[in-house]
Structure 1
Amino acid sequence: MIIRILTLIFLLCWPASYSMAQTQNKIMTIDLENNKINITTGFNGAHLTLFGVKKQPGDLAIVIQGPARQMVVRRKDQIMGVWVNHDSLGFRNVPAYYDLALSKAERKIAPAALMQSYGIGLDALNFDPVANRSDPENIERFKEALVRNKQRQGHFPLEPKNIIFLNDDFFRADFYVPSNVPTGDYSIKTYLFQQGKLREINEKKLRVAQVGFSAKLYKFAHLQGLAYGLVAVLMGLLAGAGGWLFLRQE
């Protein structure tokens, strides 16, 4: 952690090359404690910390967004005492993961329209329905259900995180990535607002990937789906047979 902070100070103070001059022209300098999350066997989540320093006053918003995917929301109804899937609606451009941290309440940082235009906040996420056969109210209900499902999975936040200021210039934000996080390339954008206007955007990339035996198992399950299913069934049968033999001996 100390090394990261010293690196940020160095980037701001070193007055030499052209690349450093470009860095000095920026108001913010951002760094990640780790720009890759490795999912291994037994992975139970990871903590992600972002450090930053700004040379001018302003309000901050940090957004983590995973790869966009198409997702389907299903609504169940009870028919003759049995719960069945009654209706469904698919949405495009749904982030596999989304989280954010703010230096103050959204409404105090910038106008709602400006925040939404940059995808800051759950209300700003724009899910495109696959089919427009539903009326707007029905689409909105499905969108709300999708957000609730993602929140239960830990892939969407219940509320924004707080950006912690170490002093007037240095800040940090802490996030927790759950064990069921989807793999892929993630974007981490830090926005600086001054008097309700966007002044600067700084973007970092985060890679979430399966590694080791976990990666091999994941690849086998997706590329050899039938074989993986047969192996799973066989292992289940062997486990059942082993339990039966054990009980007989007892």
Structure 2
Amino acid sequence: MRRAGPKPVALILLLLLGGADAFAQATPNAPRGPAPADAPLITDLSSHLIAITSSFTGTDLLLFGAIDEPGEVVVVVRGPTSTSVVRRKRPTLGFWLTRRSESYDNVPAYYAVASSKPLKEIAPANLLQRLQIGTENLRFRYLGPRRPEDIAHYHQAVVRLKIRDGLYRENIGAIDFLGPKLFRTAISFPSTVPVGTYQTEVYLIRDNRIVAAQSTPLFIDKQGIEQEVYDFSRAEPAVYGLVAVLLAVFAGWLAAVVFRRG
């Protein structure tokens, strides 16, 4: 089941009565602005931890905040980066075989954007590119010998596959304003979301300029038996592999016995 976040009314009260102080305590390294009453942008998450358990099927988090004066809001969530390999297959003698592959580094495991308006109406292209806002503006580090411009379709394939798996998403117009200053948006995470430290960035934009920005961490981690098995597999890979083989052999033997009796 998908876990529901706190009710909007409660979140608004939390924001007005102390959400700013809670945010400052949760992110001691975040840029410190003026006092909450004068801050142009105040934001927080309904939770800073997503626990992955055996029953996890995905979840939504609520990001909420307030601005001092009307403006456009953009929210970006970036997951931990890793290396991604894209393979191109072609039919050969009746079989689909890998004919070529390209590798990219610095690929976010998860990436989501929500905005109050279409991005091109909020900020100029050079600003979006510099901050890597929007899937078309993501920059990966190419690890191969060829010129990156010669293999642009492989870069696009990385993004396309992530979108297909629900790990990259753009929600244009998904930020709801509750009056002229309060806003909120839901951030969806699929069941396949990787563990790690995520970064949530919120930008307040007026007249094609960023007038305020805030960043806060989000942690996704395994808990319960899943965490214990994962830790054991990392600490004792040889023993873990042996146990997995023995369990597979036992399961096969048990299935054979059951079918034979049937």
TM over 0.5: yes
Whole-angstrom CA distance in 1 between matches of 2:18 and 2:227: 36
Partner of residue 225 from structure 1, selected from 237, 241, 250? 237
Whole-angstrom CA distance in 2 between matches of 1:74 and 1:13: 46
Change (3 A) 1:88 1:160: farther
3-state SS of the aligned residue for 1:34? coil
**Given the alignment of the two structures, is residue 42 of structure 1 paired with residue 55 of structure 2, yes or no?**
yes
**Given the alignment of the two structures, is residue 103 of structure 1 paired with residue 116 of structure 2, yes or no?**
yes
Partner of residue 11 from structure 2, selected from 4, 8, 12? 4
Q: Which runs of 5+ in 2 are unaligned?
A: 1-6, 22-31
Change (3 A) 1:77 1:225: farther
- The answer for the alignment partner of 1:82 in structure 2 is 95
**Given the alignment of the two structures, is residue 60 of structure 1 paired with residue 73 of structure 2, yes or no?**
yes
Contact 1:11 1:20 in 2 (8 A): no
- The answer for the alignment partner of 1:209 in structure 2 is 221
Q: Map 1:11-30 onto structure 2 (within 5 A).
A: 11=18, 22-30=35-43
Partner of residue 153 from structure 1, selected from 157, 165, 182? 165
Contact 1:110 1:193 in 2 (8 A): yes
CA RMSD of aligned residues (A): 2.2
Change (3 A) 1:21 1:90: closer
Q: Look up the equivalent residue of 1:190 and give its one-letter code.
A: V
User: How many residues end up aligned between the 2 structures?
Assistant: 245
Alignment deviations for residues 125-166 of structure 1 (CA, whole Å, 9 cap, x no partner): 10110123256232x111111112111221111654611112
Larger CA deviation: 119-128 vs 67-76: 67-76
Residue 20 (structure 1) shift: 9.2
**TM-score (normalised: structure 2):** 0.86
Partner of residue 168 from structure 1, selected from 177, 180, 186? 180
Give me the identity figure in percent.
33
Whole-angstrom CA distance in 1 between matches of 2:253 and 2:124: 64
- The answer for the alignment partner of 2:201 in structure 1 is 189
Residue 12 (structure 1) shift: 8.9
Partner of residue 140 from structure 2, selected from 119, 127, 140? 127
Contact 1:147 1:156 in 2 (8 A): yes
Contact 2:75 2:200 in 1 (8 A): yes
**Given the alignment of the two structures, is residue 238 of structure 1 paired with residue 250 of structure 2, yes or no?**
yes
Contact 2:198 2:218 in 1 (8 A): yes
**TM-score (normalised: structure 1):** 0.90
Residue 204 (structure 1) shift: 1.3
Q: Which runs of 5+ in 1 are unaligned?
A: none
- The answer for the alignment partner of 1:115 in structure 2 is 128
- The answer for the alignment partner of 2:26 in structure 1 is none
